[in-house]
Each structure stands twice: as C-alpha cells, then as structure tokens.
Amino acid sequence: MATPRTVAFHTLGCKLNFSETSGIRRSFENHGYTTVDFETGADIYVLNTCSVTDFADKKCRYEVRRALKYAPQAKIVVVGCYAQLKPQEIAEIPGVDLVLGAAEKFNILNYIDTISSSSDKGMVIAGEVKEANIFIDSFSFGDRTRSFLKVQDGCDYKCSFCTIPQARGSSRSDTIENVLNNAHKIASLGVREIVLTGVNLGDFGNGTDVIEGTKPKKEALFVDLIRELDKVEGIDRYRISSIEPNLLTEEIISFVAQSNKFVPHFHIPLQSGSDKILKSMRRRYQRDLYAQRISWIKSLMPHCCIGVDVIVGFPGESDEDFMETYHFLNELDVSYLHVFTYSERANTAAAEMGEVVPMEIRRQRNEMLRILSHKKRMSFTAPFLGTIRSVLFENSSVEGMMNGFTDNYIKVTMPLDTTLINKIENVELLEWDGSCDAVVSNFICEKV
C-alpha cells in the first residue's frame, strides 16, 4: 500500500495552536505531502485540540465526524491539549486512529506509519506532561495576513480553574536569537504583522533545560525581547496576543507607547473583579493592580484598545461578587470583553470547591457581560469615526469586499482592491455598517 500523500488540518483554540499547526503542516509538506482543504477529503487528518472548556472537547468529536464524512477511509490523528489531558477518552472516539501527547506531537511523522487499520481503538502515544520540557518553535504562514509567532510555552502558575499546566508542562521559552531569526524568516515571506504568542507570554525568558525539581536561571525578560524585535527590518507591526497583568510592567507599557512597530493593543486577562474570587482562583494580583495597569496604558496611549478575559459563575461567586465584577468593568476604560462561562475541569482545585453556581445563573451573567462588551466596543470605536487610521488589509469572506484592522484593533471593510491586500494604508473611518458582536464592530472606510 502506498504511503498517503494528502493531509488536512483543523485547529481548535488559541493563536498558539494555530502557530503549532502551521509548523506541523510544513513538516508534512517537507516530506512530500500535499495539504488540501478539510472539505476536499484527505488521506490523513490532523486535529489540533484545545481543552479550555467542555465545548472544546465536544468540538473535537464533531470535527472527527466531519472528517470522516468527507473521507471515510482517512486516518485521523489528534494532538493538542485535549490529547494530553484525555488521550484514552479520545482513542475511544470512533474513527480516531492515533493520539499524540504534548511531547510527541512535533514528531508526528515518526508515528504515521505505525497506524493500524485493524484496531478498533486509536493508538495512544502520550507520556507524562513533565516530558514536554523543551521548547519547540513555530510560526504560522499562509493562513492569514498576520503570522502567529510562538515564543513561549507552558505555565508555572497554578490557577485553580486551569488545566493548561497539565496539558503543556512547565514554562519555557525560545531564545531571543532564535525568535529574531524566525522574525527575519517571516519578513522574507512578505508578512507585515507578527502576533507574539505563548501560554504565559509575559513569563518569557525561562530556559529550555528543565531538570525535575529545579528551574533554570531566567535568561531574559519579555521587555528585552520586544526591544530587539522592534529593530527587525521588514516587519511593520507587532501585536502582543495576551499578557498577565502582574507581568505587564510599566516598562513594557512605556516601550510600546513609544514604539513605531508595537501597536496600541493589549489583551489582559482579569477573570474577576472581585478580590475574593481572584484569591479563590489563585490569581497573582488583585483588582487594584489591574486598574493601575489600565490607567497607565491610557495615560500614555489614550487611543489604545484593551481587551479583557473574564470568567462568570466560578464556584462561590455570589450575586454581590458578580456585580462587583460588573461595576468594576463598567468603570474601567477597556474596549471589549472575552466572556467565559465557568465549566468544571477534572483534576483542578476549582472542581472540588463547593457553592456551585447554577448553570442558568452562569448563562445570565455571561449575557450581561456580553451586552456590556458590546457597549464598551461601541464606546471605544465611536470617537474614531471621521478619523484616519492605518489598516492592514486582507481578504474577506464576503465576495467583492476586503477587511482589515487598524493598529488599535478596529475592524474595517471596503470594496475589494487586490492591489491593497497585505498592504498597510491610511483610511478614513466613515460609518458603522450595523454589524457588531461583543468583541469586534465593523466600520466602512475609504482610502485617503
């Protein structure tokens, strides 16, 4: 039987997963495989999974069924966080042939030929997460106008609701030298914007040689990295994907404020505006520190877009605790919210806590914050109507149109001009087109 030669990919979850999927795809292509669209039907499907919520787990099952619909005889490989956390559970999903853990996924080509067509259950190759103790670099290319560049992986924080340390292991980073090499490669491919990604991005600088029971000396700080990236020729924009408030120092904020390449856009997880709940979540800050970070950003960059992660329905969150979060966010000068409904995750401290919030109340709180996010987004963008901002244009799913984002993350639309794709142009924001979700509102613009 000939070796399969077509492969298709599907990525669930964060920008870091997209970066890693792109790296895995290139390894297949370098070994003679042709990447095809998911719906085309492929010999091999690779599903890169997330496990932040129960929905992500269910989504994985759905994508397995969808792949088999397009290619009933395909071999299906599942990697990613869900694969590390629940490999045996995934192996039981009808149609799954191979499950690879965190330490094995980048060696996927070594395992393809071991797939057996006679087994009723998928093969599992997933060691303990502590074996995922070296840094493997990756960056995305070809999927979007922007490139997601992985510079950090893993996390040493022990937030009571989070499974990521169990799925990705200890915090570890690339070297500044190698990050710069990758940035130069990305620039040579014609990419104009890089989004820096990692699990705990602000913790950048941990070495890659992790010995059990020890931590290597920190080799650099995140601010050292961004200073060096700012000098790379050929990249016009850098965006910081997400950074913890306790690691977002005034030094980082001040550098971004004066940089010509790092855009005025931060995404800063809050999770709760109640100090009581933050303590229960084992977060490393209180609300006053968060408010100070927002104030410092806005004092230097009034036009800066600030996104916030928040969890509703955490165990023990009373009506008073939730309203404390609501009022705190309402008063903060932030631009949009990513709202997550708390879901119990196995092997986390939060799953063992009492005072469970009923699901219906969790949904009601989620809806309240989504409405608030809509208001925040419109309040942030409205003052920019009639102003001129720089936009990086990309193709749109709407025929005859193209989209783009301003430096401060306002989405815009204008009639398609193929000569402007992947170019940064100054445009005037003319009007809101009537569409908006809780995170992004869309504005019609024209080139000036």
User: What's phi and psi for 423, nearest 5 deg?
Assistant: -120, 150
CA distance 383 to 87: 49
Q: Which residue has the higher pLDDT, 132 or 364?
A: 364
User: What's phi and psi for 152, nearest 5 deg?
Assistant: -150, 155
Q: Are 104 and 112 in contact (CB under 8 A)?
A: no
Question: Residue range 346-367: average pLDDT?
Answer: 95
Residue 212 Cα distances to 130, 134, 173, 328, 444, angstroms: 8, 12, 17, 41, 55
Residue with tokens 């795809």: 25
Q: Are 192 and 237 in contact (CB under 8 A)?
A: yes
All domains of the chain, ordered by start, with CATH? 6-127 (3.40.50.12160), 132-263 (3.30.750.210), 272-383 (3.30.750.200), 385-447 (2.40.50.140)
Per-residue pLDDT reduced to its tens digit, 175-222: 999 999 999 999 999 999 999 999 999 999 975 444 444 555 566 899
pTM score of the predicted model = 0.91
Q: State the pLDDT at residue 350.
A: 96
Exposed, middle or buried by CB within 10 Å (0-12, 13-18, 19+), for 354? exposed
Per-residue pLDDT reduced to its tens digit, 220-254: 899 999 999 999 999 999 999 999 999 999 999 99
Per-residue pLDDT reduced to its tens digit, 281-327: 999 999 999 999 999 999 999 999 999 999 999 999 999 999 999 99
